[in-house]
Amino acid sequence: MTEERYVIDASALLAMLGREPGADVVAMALSVSIVSTVNWAEVLQKAHAHGVDVVGLEDDLGSLGVEFAPFGTGEAAIAADLWLRLGQSLALADRACLATAAARGLKALTADREWTTLELGVPVQMIR
């Protein structure tokens, strides 16, 4: 049986790092997950804004199996299409996560409830 793989949104990764509800769901998915470099930038930005030391965090996540995926032109085109279809309802980092999931045929893992109300064209799993 093939294990399901995920693209983790910044909201889900931040929930795990902050030990918020749903952190256990994210922790269990790490070994089969991808994080877009755009979402990684958002995680780092928010961590720095809250004074959190992130030295070694990328290596720690990598050792747990997390793959960091570059945001390429294919993902950019999908993210732009999401903006055209949905307007400004999603931030660029949200669209980057969804585009990365769409490009790889994977499910997005998020804490963002708004995603369940939109026609995204990508399977989404909530962490809480």
- Domain of residue 111, CATH code: 3.40.50.1010
25 inside domain: yes
1 inside domain: no
pLDDT score for 96: 98
Contact 8, 26 (CB under 8 A): yes
When divided into structural domains, the chain yields a total of: 1
84 inside domain: yes
38 inside domain: yes
Residue 77: pLDDT over 90 = yes
Does the pTM surpass 0.85? The reply is: yes
CA distance 27 to 30: 5
For the residues 39-47, what does the mean pLDDT come to? 97
96 inside domain: yes
Residue 2: pLDDT over 70 = no
Contact 124, 24 (CB under 8 A): no
75 inside domain: yes
What is each CA distance from 106 to 34, 92, 102, in whole angstroms?
Answer: 9, 19, 6
97 inside domain: yes
Name the residue range of residue 109's domain: 6-126
CA distance 99 to 84: 13
Residue 3: pLDDT over 90 = no
Binned at pLDDT 50, 70 and 90, residue 103 comes out as very high
95 inside domain: yes
Instruction: Show the tokens assigned to 97.
Output: 């996560």
Q: What is the mean pLDDT of the chain?
A: 95
Residue 125: exposure state from Cβ atoms within 10 A (0-12, 13-18, ≥19): middle
Residue 1: pLDDT over 60 = no
Binned at pLDDT 50, 70 and 90, residue 42 comes out as very high
